[in-house]
Chains A and B, each alone.
Chain A
Amino acid sequence: MTVPSLGRGRARWLLFAAAGAYFGLPVLATALYAFATVWRSKALPDGYTLDHVRDTFGDARLVAAVGRSLLLGGLAVLIINVVVLPPLYWARVRNPQLRSVMQTCALLPFALPFLVIAYGIKNLAGANGLTAPWSASWQLVLLGHVALAFPFFLWPVDGAMAAADVRRLHEAAATSGAGPVRTLLAVVVPNIRTGILTGSILAFATSFGEYSIARIITGTSYETLPVWMVNELNQTAGNRFGVAVMTITSFLIVLAVSVVVAVAARDQPVQLLPGVSTAKETP
């Protein structure tokens, strides 16, 4: 029965190659475009240059947009950490209902298109005198990003808490005399750091690549990287090479960070979705 097993082996490689091509070719094409002098009607560019890279990073408007996106992503991650970690820890050790509420909230952003959510946020903010002055502000964009990105933080962190058996650690810490704040910072966080890191990266990437909310709430007054990219693509004289350069740069950064996290996480398995708790249930 060697023929079927050979066939299975071949099928496996074929599938692997197909998947590789599907995911890899667009990246490769974008990378080539970022360094191409001219690329028309041929399989490969006519020539290669570093001019686009130099021009793109020399563009003050783009640098400012990247700065805004980094700021938004960084602040969003910070806020999400502060807002999600304490209640999720408390839900695990004391009040499980809290967790159900958070899980439900985490599904809401996916019930509607981001575009609809963005208009909803803007209209809601503009509907009363108290928040109307903020209805086109970057702070509102930040809040929107927090709401959209927190599920990507919640899931891996919840999984990590299950894997670390946070409840048991909490009891050990409490009988040692530690209060909840110290337990969270000194015991829980270090033991779920891979989950926090994974979640932070996912949340950051969500915010960094988000277009609808920034565009709809602030128009073009607060140009983030995705808003800049869309602008450049829409204009006839837009810097398309620059868009390719930024796409590849973002891709490489995320790839590098992922590799670092994967290496750092060897002793702490990442659990992307909350699985069955290994915690000993107490009667």
Chain B
Amino acid sequence: MTPTDLRVDAHHVDAPYVRHCAEPSGVVVRGLTKRYGRVAALEDVDLEVEPGELVALLGSSGSGKTTLLRVVAGLVEADAGQVNIGGRDVSRVPTRARPIGMVFQSYALFPNMTVARNIAFPLTVRRRSQAERTERVDELLDLVGLAGLGDRYPSQLSGGQQQRVALARALAPEPEVLLLDEPLSALDAVIRTGLRDEIRRIQQRLGITALYVTHDQSEALAIADRVAIMSGGRIEECAPPAEIYERPASRFAALFVGSRNALELPVDSDRVVRWGQAFALPAPAGANGTALAVFRPEDVELVDNGGVEGRVDVATFLGATTRVHVRVEHHLVAVDVPSRRAAGVAVGDQVHLAVPGRAVRLFTAGEHA
């Protein structure tokens, strides 16, 4: 690990003014569909990214998030639908003529060129003058914290440094939209959070519109203005991170984000879903027989009386909190307890659980995501 990988942001606070003349443009995607044989990679996808906004495409592999990004980049041609960048329909425009910059998971630097020539490549292609290229390269090296490393070759850099170079190269031609395809997945955990915060800082400083593909929910929640959760080629939900986390509107989002408890509970004849004395909530419309109650481990409380009764199955110390798994009938419920409080809990103990009604999201049961 090299010093630049662990560089703190302090260095950049006084970094020189970085030109980014292009007015931020929004990206509008309408009715995108893409099939590979019988498999639908994208199914009638609509998405609007505001100018200057960073939207994270979050999903597991095969959800279509990478395909969506590649369609916006023009690397994949959609079967149907439209891509607009800055109000212009670019669906028929080849990749090289789209106003984009792209960062790849595997860095994809040109091994035969120095760092400086890699960053200058988009400018060389655009026939900018030598003086302009040199100035821009220095500016970008500063921006990504690699000043002085312009003469190195990619193979002489660490993974984190290479990805910084890739970011600088993507930004060099002042693109209207920055596309990032799992840019941190190939990096070590320590470098990952540092570079994640730095990508966010740079994106906000330049005010550039960005689409960011990731399978890591904490990464998506940390970096994005809005998170679009994808599954089966569709966008299940697109909302700000706090909203996705606190009040997921879709069942898929509720189960995908945060390691939530999901209990299938009966709907009583008075259309109320009850879990012992822990909570009683009106059943969602359309719920027949059973409903799915979803809530986060940190919203469950250990109480002295009432609630539901269960037996401690296992307790995992996580630092400030301890995750206690409690067996309630046939459910295994995760409960996050402050570690000091958890010290008095032993495996096999009888405990009472309560969940505030506002922390519970109810969905119709039956369909399995």
Q: Which residues of A are in contact with B by a Cβ distance under 8 Å? A: 164-165, 168-169, 171-179, 182, 186-187, 190-191, 267, 280, 282-283
Min distance, Cβ B192 to any Cβ of chain A, angstroms: 19
Q: B111 and A191: CB pair below 8 A?
A: yes
A68 to B101: give the CA distance in the assembly, Å: 51
Residues in B neighbouring A169, C-beta threshold 8 A: 108, 110
* Given pairs A168-B108, A175-B75, 4 additional interface contacts (CB within 8 A): A169-B108, A171-B108, A176-B121, A176-B173
Q: Are B110 and A178 in contact (CB under 8 A)?
A: no
Of A178, A191, A282, the residue contacting B125 (CB under 8 A) is A178
Q: Is the CB of A172 within 8 A of B109?
A: yes
The answer for the CA separation of A176 and B126 in the assembled complex, in Å, is: 9
| Chain B contacts with A in 167-218, Cβ cutoff 8 A | 169-170, 172-173, 179
The answer on a CB contact under 8 Å between A175 and B73 is yes
A168-B104 contact given A191-B110, A283-B41, CB 8 Å threshold: yes
The docked-state distance in angstroms from the alpha carbon of A190 to that of B121 is 14
Q: How far is the CA of A165 from the CA of B104 in the complex (A)?
A: 13
- With a cutoff of 8 Å between Cβ atoms, the chain B residues found around residue A177 in the complex are 96-97, 122, 125-126, 173
Give 18 pairs: A residue, B residue, CB < 8 Å, sorted on A.
A169-B108, A171-B102, A171-B104, A172-B104, A172-B166, A173-B110, A174-B75, A175-B100, A175-B102, A176-B101, A176-B121, A176-B122, A176-B125, A177-B97, A177-B125, A178-B122, A283-B66, A283-B67
Bound together, the chains give a CA A90 to CA B344 distance in angstroms of 67
In the assembled complex, which residues on chain B have CB atoms less than 8 Å from the CB atom of A283? 36, 41, 61-62, 66-67
Distance (Å) between the CB of B290 and the closest chain A CB? 35
How far apart sit A199 and B234, CA to CA, in the bound complex (Å)? 47
Given A182-B125, A283-B66; A175-B110 close (CB under 8 Å)? no
- State which size class the interface on B falls in: 35 or more
B76 to chain A, nearest CB (A): 8
A191 to B70, CA, bound (A): 24
Bound form: Cα–Cα A191–B109 in Å: 11
B269 within 8 A of A: no
The 7 closest A-B pairs by CB, nearest first: A172-B108, A175-B102, A190-B112, A176-B122, A174-B95, A177-B125, A178-B125
Cα A165 to Cα B107 in complex, Å, equals: 12
Chain A residues near B94 (CB-CB < 8 A): 174
B74, B112, B122: which contacts A191 (Cβ < 8 A)?
B112
CA distance A177 to B97 in the complex (A): 6
Chain A at the B interface: mostly helix, strand, loop or mixed? helix
Known A168-B106, A191-B110, A280-B105; judge A175-B95 contact (CB<8 A). yes
**A residues within 8 A CB of B66?**
282-283
- Bound CA–CA A171/B155 (angstroms): 19
Task: Name the B residues within 8 Å of A172 (CB-CB).
Answer: 102, 104, 108-110, 166, 169
Given A169-B110, A171-B75, A176:B169 Cβ within 8 A: yes
Interchain CB contact under 8 A, B75 and A280: no
**Cα distance A141–B172 when bound, in Å?**
50
In the complex, which residues of chain B have a beta carbon less than 8 angstroms from the beta carbon of A173? 110, 121
Complex Cα–Cα for A267 and B154 (A): 13
Report whether A187 and B36 are in contact in the complex, using a CB–CB cutoff of 8 Å: no
Q: For chain B, residues 84 to 120, give those with C-beta under 8 angstroms from any C-beta of chain A.
A: 94-97, 100-102, 104-106, 108-112
Whole-angstrom distance from the CB of A266 to the nearest CB of chain B? 12
Contact partners of B170 in chain A: CB under 8 A: 175-176
Chain A residues, CB < 8 A from B125:
176-178, 182
Q: A174-B96, A176-B125, A178-B121 are in contact. Are A187 and B110 (CB under 8 A)?
A: yes
Task: Kindly state the separation between the CA atoms of A187 and B36 in the bound complex, as whole angstroms.
Answer: 29
B101–A175 touching, CB < 8 Å = yes
- Inside 8 A of B155's CB, which chain A residues have their CB? 267
Query: Closest CB-CB distance, B218 to chain A, in whole Å?
Result: 23
Assess whether A179 is in contact with B111, with CB atoms less than 8 Å apart: no
| Residues of chain B within 8 A of A282, CB atoms compared | 66, 70, 76
